[in-house]
Structures are given as C-alpha cells and as structure tokens.
Amino acid sequence: MSTSKTITFTLFIATLLSPCNAATNATTQPLFPAILIFGDSTVDTGNNNYHSQTIFKAKHLPYGIDLPNHKASGRFTNGKIFSDIIATKLNIKQFVPPFLQPNLSDQEIVTGVCFASAGAGYDDHTSLSTQAIRISDQPKMLKSYIARLKSIVGDKKAMEIINNALVVISAGPNDFILNYYDIPSRRLEFPHISGYQDFVLQRLNNFVRELYSLGCRKIMVGGLPPMGCLPIQMTAKFRNALRFCLEQENRDSVLYNQKLQNLLPQIEASLTGSKILYSNVYDPMMDMMQNPSKYGFKETKRGCCGTGHLETSFMCNAFSPTCRNHSEFLFFDSIHPSEATYNYMGNFLDTQIRVWLEA
C-alpha cells in the first residue's frame, strides 16, 4: 500500500474506532448543495422500480426490512445504501431519491437525486443482458434533471448547484462478472483481463468527460471491491466448498484500481476546474473480511438472505429465510453489502471527502 493510501486507511480505522467521528463534529451546514449519483446497484436507490424492462429489482422484502417504514424501496440491501449514508453524513439529506420516481418535490430536485441503475456497467454490453439503464445513457437523465432544476431556481443558480454538487460514480463489478468471469462474452475480444480493464477504463474516461461537459466539477469515482470475495463469485467457482476468496479475481481488482488511480489525475489535469477523487473501497472491505470481529461481523463468506451463496434480486424474496442479526453479516445477499457494511464504508469515505475538500 502506498504512503498516501496508508495514511488514508489509518484515518479510516481511527474514524471507525473513535467515539466522536467527523460526522458527529460536523456543523449542520451541508458540505455540498446537492448530491448526484451515477452507477449500478451499489448506489441505485430505486430507479429500476420505474424502468419496466430491467431484470434486477429490489422492490420486495426482505430488501428494505430495516428502513424506517420496513418496506422495500429498490435499494439492494436491508436498509440504507451507500448513497443515502454519504448524503446523510455530508448533511445534504437522509435519503437520495431515484430520479425516475414520480412526483419528486422541488426540494428533492434541488438537493440532488440518483440516476444509477442496478445491473449497469461502463461497458454497454453489460446492460444488454440486464436491461439496466446504461451508464452511457445516465447523462441523458442528468440533462432532464438540469432542465427541471433550471425551471425551479433559474439558469444561473442551477449551474452553481451542478458545479458544486458532489457527483458520485460507483460501477465496474457488473462489467467483469457479466462479461468476463461468469459469462465470458468479452474474452474472445479481450483474451487478457488487462485489455478488458483498459477498455472499461476508457469508457469511464468518456463518461467522466461527458458529466464535466454538463457542468459537473466535483467528482468521486469508486474503484472495484475485492471481486473474488463476493459470495456469488465464491459460488461460481466449483469445488470451493471451503469458500475461499478467489485470489486471481482480487489481483485483477487491485490492478484495475491501480490503473484507475493513475488515470483520474490525468483526467483532472485535462479538465479545467475539475476536482476528482478516487474512492478506495477495496482496502476497507478487505479489512472487514480479514478482521471481521473488529466490526462486529460473524459472517463474511455468504449473504444474510437465503443460503447467501447465490440469492440476489428476485431470488432473494419474501420466501427466503434471512439471518437473525443482519448487522452481523458483511453481505445482505450474494453480491450486495449489508447496511452495517455500508455504514462503515460511509465513515471511511466521509473522511476521504473531508480531507479531499481541504486539500
């Protein structure tokens, strides 16, 4: 781990173990006027509920069971997801609504929305199999959002909000799971994973530049988690009865993240006035897996829903048994973290964002 990553990760551990973290000490003044979220199911707050063609939806229990109303909302976990937790910690709002939700209030529009879609990836090929809203199409939603925002606050104020909003991008795992590892549809074109990583990163590069052209300036881009430790990936590897993490897939994630960390400063340097943050999700998730008791976790190799080996989306449903204590499981289903995990990730990334703002 590099020196800067070590310092940041040390800050993460200190934040988690301190009884009084940055969010507690923060004033009630929002750090950003709005939050705008793009990506996949890790940040989708319910857009797929309103997009009839999408395969992956979370509008049924046990998803949402720990939300205040105990109802499924389209979030792929038992409670809040990362989008909501970051928005809360930055004093913007408690829950980030999906842009496709009907009848959004003016206030919800002004403080930001989510454009993400479960099953999406940077590679358009990914959405062919999932029927998700392609990431390359999510800027079209942003254009519609800006038009609505301008009708509420006027052109000048609207662009001030867009220029100063926190833009969160979280995607990538679906590209590798659905196109390379489990369904090798891209392997003929890219026989080596490194080549496909470069292709995905070029798509990411184009996406960030398109958001910039629409006025986005403060952008946080998430890296890959330890892909080989996702329960569904352990299951996909036959004869893995002891459910070990797949080390090659983890090495692939590390290599991708290194390339992403090298790419983002280059993009920032070429886009005047932009400020781009690499969001490190790999290290904190790996620490939770290697030191689960430190976080109160008792299970890290399977999800809380059903067997926890395969269930996600429609396979994780009201007929699926769930674990008794959701906060003791790192994963809620076979792909998605539990709300407890998202809370720890939120603590870490809140610290990263505050350090980034002061830099």
Find the largest Cα–Cα distance for the chain: 60
Task: Report the C-alpha gap between 194 and 55 in whole angstroms.
Answer: 29
Catalytic sites, residue numbers: 41, 333, 336
Q: State whether the Cα torsion 152-275-168-120 is positive or negative.
A: positive
Task: Report the C-alpha gap between 258 and 252 in whole angstroms.
Answer: 10
Task: Report the C-alpha gap between 303 and 344 in whole angstroms.
Answer: 17
Q: Write out the two tokens for 44.
A: 């989708």
Alpha helices (H) along the chain: 3-17, 22-25, 82-89, 106-111, 124-130, 138-153, 155-164, 173-176, 193-213, 231-236, 247-270, 282-290, 339-358
State the first-to-last Cα distance of the chain, in angstroms, to the nearest integer.
21
